Structure 1
Amino acid sequence: MKFKFLPLFLVILIGLSACDRVDPLEKVLEKGSLKVALRSSPAVFYEHREGHAGFEYELVRSFAEHLGVELKTVIVENQQEMESLLDSGQVDLVAGGLGRTQELQERYTLTKPLLDSALMVVYRRGTFRPRAWEDIAEDKDLAVLADSRQAEVLRNQQAKYPELGWKETEDLAVTDLLKLVQDGELDYALVSAQDFNLNRFFFPRVGVAFDAEATSSLVWMLPRKARGSQFNAIADGFVAYASRQGVIDEVRERYYRHEEYLEYVGAPLFLRHVRNRLPLYEDHFKAAAEDQGLDWLLLAAVGFQESHWRRNAVSPTGVRGLMMLTQRTAGELGVNRLDPYESIEGGARYLRHLYNRLPDQIQGPDRTYMALAAYNVGYGHLEDARRITQGQGYDPNSWDDVAEHLPLLTQRRWYSRTRFGYARGNEPVVYVKNIRRYLEILEWHERTQENFLEKLEERAAKVRFETAFRKVPPMI
């Protein structure tokens, strides 16, 4: 993701030559690298099999590309480590899920906000749910990260509610707080909506108690001496441009778009089965998909839509098995549809067959969605819908256009003109929509959270929670 500010860049270089004091930007350009401290967290930076990733990491990488320098990263666990590296001059910039606070503004140079996120108090579902600050009893534990925007908000609230007390930690991360709430070891935590939405897949027993009616502005941190410098100006300029051009929204969409899918009515069931059933068949989905040149996550999403990953599923129309093959299709493929592994293999081969059978002019995602629709309603009915779509002046190679016309196959005046007749044309539209939802969540899970729970447990084993907090007592 490259950004071109050549005129601005020339102005800056001219300005640097006229300055007596060496600008931090000049140092970055001279050494040819931007060294950034990043917090290891799902929202900032993590590693997976395809390399480095993370919402803030991608934006920092783009900033380095904009400067025309190499990005060098130092991965740390908490804010205190990041501040130490910045204070000692070992890094040029810090990006770590930092919310703007008055204290940080006084001690460092902060960029323009990348985005704003609401703050919320979370609790463990099934326990008492406070709906306002005054509902938090003195004997309940409320926790936040130390030196955070959340800690600042609590101090402001304490002026209104003197009986409010809480605990702060320098050793733990937001995900640790969510785990403690889920495990019943912590009553409440104040977190950002961004952190909650990114991680709630893994903490299904954690819910929102109430909106804190405050926001946190995500910022990057530069040394205090960079205030008013060209480095400060170009960092702010980059953030402003990336915001104005929709670049930040684009990256955020890639990492957080699963949020909307977690809201629909089938999400809780799906998430439960991802944890409990999918591991039983994951290796077989991967092997079958590799044999057929398919995305295994797509194949798994089809399997869930068909049977909720149940090996003995049966429909009223007689299709059976995990991939819900008809007896005729299973016979043609030479598989036992009641054997879950053969069913997965047969389903993969059948989906590939349908994909290959489609006309060459159908390309990209449209081809995938058409193949899925054919898996559901039959290839002949799909072709009938494509002919109707074309006859109405729309694009028969566009899934969106075909999806608009598939329901017409339920109406006599339309299906009577087709080769294959009546079909429940609404079903493939919903079918494809559901699979896209499931696939989106699976892709997010695979991309951003590999071994997440295992890593969380490893960190928990190294930290003594009972000594990880310092208490901020009530004022009365």
Structure 2
Amino acid sequence: MIQYFKKYFILLLLLMLTVFFVSILIHNQNLGTATGTLDRIRSTGKLRLITANALNTYSYYEGKPTGFEYDLALEFAKYLNVELDIVTPGWNNLFTYLNQDKGDFIAAGISITAQRLEDAAFSIPYMTIQQRVVHHNLIFGPKNIEDLRFRTFHVRRDTSYHYRLEQIEASGIALNYILHDNIPTEELIAMVNRREIRFTIADSNIALLTQRYYPDIKIGIPIQERESLAWAVRKNDTDMIVEINRFFLHANETGILRKITNKYYENTQDFDVYEIKKFHKRIKTRLPKYKQVIMEESKKYGFDWRLVAAVVYQESHFNPEAKSVTNVRGLMQVTHATAREMGITNRRNPSQSIRAGIKYLGKMYQRFSHIEDKYQRMLFSLASYNIGYGHVQDAQKIAKGKGLDPNTWQALKTCLPLLSKTQYVKTTKHGYARGWEPVQYVERILTYFDILKQKTKSLELTDSQGNGK
């Protein structure tokens, strides 16, 4: 996965440079008529994003906006030194709102298609994806394009999936498709998981992102060559396209694009489906016994209880009798020394173990108070919980020596594995460590955390709607 991203970003940079200079040339030759969008943005101090609610675009968690497209658009607003306003008209109205000047650009994980090029102009791409069949793992999926014959697919209207199925049908392959309005792809995938429908189509990034929440789905064959995701603006809005392209170059050169991409997509392929299914089961069977004490203790330190629950699961699979080969015990796998330091007497007592573990995590969190980004700070704290604060310090020192920012997770995850290599061990204060383990540890916790966020969000939504009725 990491090698894929390296190749992807090199190719993306070359593509960005090529398209950027072409766009500058077009701009200088005054081809097309600029709409004055950029001037209006600067004069009002408002950048209006048109997007849709979905996992990969824009949603709320704990009262705060999140999502890949939102994060990237927020960086664009910072780049322009303006505020970001959000407009969410529903999937079927994105381009209507754009052309009615109800927003300045669309950022919603949309691919460049011939049909869409008739309605808007597109920026340089920021990601490549591929349309894939999604079905339940108990249902046999198609083996090739010809095998789509006589199957029924559920997709959203006027999407790249809709257009592609039309093309396949026109080629002589008799298939059926049912069109839905203003429904996110992830909800269609959820319907596949519940076996309410048999097949849908999803971009590969959405399918991979969603699979951790619905481990019973299977990502099947591709039905299209790789496509590019990009932002859309009104036709002939040349100044806006040029500025967006400049921003993408800036985001690539400064690492902003890589950071946001890693945050949402880096771990989507690096998990065991069996383990994820086991986690989903234990959320129901084991977590309820400890949920209340996790919530109470997490609140004392300002931690999200779902993150702490993910830590507990990674440590012990919610088993209070868990014991490691190094004789750490209990739900939070507390050592004798840590138990004494945190003031508990029985490591196998669930409440004591949770209290001690969260208290110790809080201690690590305080040690990284110089890291302003709370998300990055927590990743450092988790790594320290696993491998020890001293080894994290050693990795930070290595990062600094390599010219990397020692206060970023990207640098730390690069340098932690070096703690097992002889040429680096001899320069460290705390000696040898299996530095790849805390990297895997943190990334697994983030996967579990992501699942718990989505699970609790779904439950809250169902409760607010009267048990879904």
TM-score bracket for this pair, using the shorter chain length: 0.7 to 0.9
Counterpart of 1:100 (choices 112, 131, 151) is 112
Partner of 1:440: 446
Aligned length: 419
Matches within 5 A, 1:360-379: 369-373=383-387
Greater Cα shift, 141-150 or 152-161: 152-161
1:258/1:444 contact within 8 Å kept: no
Opposite residue 63 of structure 1, the aligned amino acid is F
1:120/1:191 contact within 8 Å kept: yes
2:417/2:436 contact within 8 Å kept: no
Greater Cα shift, 180-189 or 274-283: 274-283
Opposite residue 335 of structure 1, the aligned amino acid is T
Q: Deviations along 1:285-321, whole A, 9 cap, x unmatched?
A: 3433455687756654443344211133356787653
* CA positional deviation for 1:324: 4.2
Partner of 1:186: 197
* CA positional deviation for 1:207: 0.8
Take 1:285 and 1:353, find their aligned partners in 2: how far apart are those partners?
Answer: 17
Partner of 1:109: 121
Counterpart secondary structure, 1:262 = coil
Partner of 1:171: 182
1:42/1:449 contact within 8 Å kept: no
Opposite residue 82 of structure 1, the aligned amino acid is L
Opposite residue 438 of structure 1, the aligned amino acid is R
1:307 paired with 2:316, answer yes
1:354/1:374 contact within 8 Å kept: no
Take 1:136 and 1:175, find their aligned partners in 2: how far apart are those partners?
Answer: 21
Counterpart of 2:46 (choices 33, 49, 54) is 33
Matches within 5 A, 1:165-314: 165-224=176-235, 227=236, 229-243=238-252, 245-263=254-272, 266-274=275-283, 276-289=285-298, 291=300, 299-313=308-322
Counterpart secondary structure, 1:312 = coil
* CA positional deviation for 1:268: 4.1
TM-score for the superposition, normalised by structure 2? 0.72
Partner of 1:23: 36
- Highest Rg: 1 or 2? 1
Greater Cα shift, 228-237 or 322-331: 322-331
Take 2:388 and 2:256, find their aligned partners in 1: how far apart are those partners?
Answer: 36
Take 1:68 and 1:229, find their aligned partners in 2: how far apart are those partners?
Answer: 20
Q: 1:161 to 1:370 in 2, by over 3 A?
A: same
Greater Cα shift, 312-321 or 114-123: 312-321
2:154/2:199 contact within 8 Å kept: yes
Take 1:172 and 1:371, find their aligned partners in 2: how far apart are those partners?
Answer: 41
Partner of 1:451: 457
Q: Deviations along 1:73-108, whole A, 9 cap, x unmatched?
A: 112332x22233223222222222222221111122
Partner of 2:170: 159
Counterpart of 1:337 (choices 338, 341, 347) is 347
Take 2:37 and 2:58, find their aligned partners in 1: how far apart are those partners?
Answer: 24
* CA positional deviation for 1:120: 0.4
* CA positional deviation for 1:71: 1.9
* CA positional deviation for 1:462: 8.9
* CA positional deviation for 1:197: 1.6
Q: 1:127 to 1:334 in 2, by over 3 A?
A: same
Of structures 1 and 2, the one with the larger relative CO (CA 8 A, separation 6+) is 1
1:354/1:371 contact within 8 Å kept: yes
* CA positional deviation for 1:57: 1.3
Take 2:464 and 2:110, find their aligned partners in 1: how far apart are those partners?
Answer: 24
Take 1:181 and 1:73, find their aligned partners in 2: how far apart are those partners?
Answer: 30
Q: 1:24 to 1:459 in 2, by over 3 A?
A: farther
2:189/2:200 contact within 8 Å kept: yes
Q: 1:283 to 1:438 in 2, by over 3 A?
A: farther
* CA positional deviation for 1:430: 6.8
* CA positional deviation for 1:338: 3.6
Q: 1:312 to 1:443 in 2, by over 3 A?
A: closer
Opposite residue 212 of structure 1, the aligned amino acid is I
* CA positional deviation for 1:163: 1.2
Take 1:454 and 1:248, find their aligned partners in 2: how far apart are those partners?
Answer: 32
Take 2:107 and 2:381, find their aligned partners in 1: how far apart are those partners?
Answer: 40
Take 1:77 and 1:63, find their aligned partners in 2: how far apart are those partners?
Answer: 22
Partner of 1:414: none
Greater Cα shift, 260-269 or 155-164: 260-269
Provide structure 1 residue ranges, at least 5 long, that are not aligned to the other structure: 1-7, 391-396, 409-424, 464-476
Counterpart secondary structure, 1:41 = coil
1:290/1:296 contact within 8 Å kept: yes
Partner of 2:17: none
2:387/2:438 contact within 8 Å kept: yes
Opposite residue 129 of structure 1, the aligned amino acid is G
Counterpart secondary structure, 2:231 = strand
1:201/1:271 contact within 8 Å kept: no
Counterpart of 2:64 (choices 48, 51, 59) is 51
Counterpart secondary structure, 2:109 = strand
* CA positional deviation for 1:262: 2.3
2:53/2:184 contact within 8 Å kept: no
Take 1:329 and 1:235, find their aligned partners in 2: how far apart are those partners?
Answer: 51
Counterpart secondary structure, 1:99 = coil
Take 2:260 and 2:340, find their aligned partners in 1: how far apart are those partners?
Answer: 46
Q: 1:285 to 1:111 in 2, by over 3 A?
A: same
TM-score for the superposition, normalised by structure 1? 0.71
Percent identical residues: 22
Q: 1:124 to 1:458 in 2, by over 3 A?
A: farther
Q: 1:320 to 1:192 in 2, by over 3 A?
A: same
Counterpart secondary structure, 2:41 = helix
Q: 1:314 to 1:223 in 2, by over 3 A?
A: closer
Partner of 1:62: 75
Q: 1:37 to 1:205 in 2, by over 3 A?
A: same
Opposite residue 214 of structure 2, the aligned amino acid is F
